[in-house]
Amino acid sequence: MTKSNTLRILAVSSGGGHWEQLMLLRDALSAASVIYVSTIPGLAEKSGVSPAYVIADCNRNAPVRNIWCLIHVLTILLRERPDVIISTGAAPGLIGIVIGKILGAKTIWIDSVANCEQLSLSGRVAGKFADLWITQWRRLASENGPHYFGSVI
């Protein structure tokens, strides 16, 4: 925790549905100091959240963009030093979870509600790093994770 004893959360998400699900968690995170990270310029402002950063979007098919995203996320993590990192998905969120875990933050991965048949690739990898690994579908939950607590939508 920071000197002010306020929990600092870094909330990382790609745009689109991942971002919309993250925005649905705002009330649940309101007691903390939340820093938002997205991949689309202007998205945080449009959603009325701040402070916020924009990072490079990436995916498994774009190795150079993955490196840029990693550099952006690492820079933000070193600057902000969050206590917790939470992500609702996609590769940028996975990068945040992995780097954050290495740097000592607690990590939470919430796989997208869109992944109703199976976990996303990022979600399966995140399960190896996340302190709390969540699915929004009861049928995808298991005793060792991911866990099901309901959906955000």
Mean pLDDT of 4-10: 90
* pLDDT per residue as tens digits for the range 115-133: 778 788 888 999 999 999 9
* pLDDT per residue as tens digits for the range 44-89: 999 999 999 999 999 888 889 999 999 999 999 999 999 999 999 8
Joined tokens for residue 9:
């959360």
> Is the model's pLDDT at 22 over the cut of 90?
yes
Which neighbouring-strand residues pair with 107? Answer: 85
Distance (Å, rounded) from C-alpha 77 to C-alpha 85?
Answer: 9
| Res. 2 pLDDT band, cuts 50 70 90 | very low
Distance (Å, rounded) from C-alpha 17 to C-alpha 62?
Answer: 21
Q: How far, in Å, are 80, 118, 128, 137, 138 from residue 106 at the CA level?
A: 14, 25, 13, 23, 24
Does domain 8-148 sit in CATH 3.20.20.70?
no
Instruction: Give me the residue spans of the domains in the chain.
Output: 8-148
Distance (Å, rounded) from C-alpha 40 to C-alpha 5?
Answer: 31
> Is the model's pLDDT at 28 over the cut of 60?
yes
> Is the model's pLDDT at 113 over the cut of 70?
no
Per-residue pLDDT, 116: 76
Q: Average per-residue pLDDT in the chain?
A: 92
Per-residue pLDDT, 4: 63
Q: What is the pTM of this model?
A: 0.91
- Taking the CA atoms of residue 27, residue 90, residue 13 and residue 25 in that order, the dihedral angle to the nearest 10 degrees is 0
